[in-house]
Amino acid sequence: MKENAIDRFCIKLCVGFVLALFVFVAGYHSGRSELAKQVRIDTLHIRDTVRQSFPVLVASEPVMVAQPVDTAAILREHFTLNVFRDTLRVKDFGIVTVTDTVFQNRIGGREFTYDLSIPTCTSMRRAKFDIGVGAFAQRDAYGLQASLKVKHLLLSGGYDFKNQSPHVGVLYMFGK
């Protein structure tokens, strides 16, 4: 009678251990999938135009000229619409283009156009090991087992309830 109670206690202990391990593994994998959802990063391409306000005149000083002045050329230049474009290459990110329109010695318009690609990390660091639990059933045996995979090595162990014996195994996997 005493051996039977000990056997039942061992069975209950093993079942409790396997259930606790199962709950742990389920939480571990769901936590990893939540982490994967949170950490997932995609490449972001932005193309837009931003309009800026006009600059404010801070100081103005007249300049004395000692030679003859071509007033017609100065007026022609003053009333000419000039467009200046500057392209800035931002290393590893893309291109920003600044377009200034100058008319009557003032910036009449300023436009920023950019085509940026934010570099991202696409690979997630993989866990160093995997844990698995399961059950087995054969003609002369049934029980529970657990496994631990580290790189190419798979370690497994369990308990056979019918024959009341533990079992262990080691497996080396070739390839990926």
- The pLDDT tens digits of the residues spanning 11-30 come to 777 777 777 777 676 665 55
The Cα 168–Cα 155 span in angstroms is 8
Contact of 113 with 99, CB cutoff 8 Å: yes
The DSSP line for 19-31 is HHHHHHHHHHHHH
- Domains belonging to the chain, first-starting first, are 2-40+124-172 (3.30.1300), 44-118 (no CATH)
Per-residue confidence band for 99, with pLDDT thresholds at 50, 70 and 90: confident
Say what the pTM is.
Answer: 0.33
The Cα 52–Cα 54 span in angstroms is 7
Contacts of 83 (CB under 8 A, 6+ apart): 99, 100, 101, 102
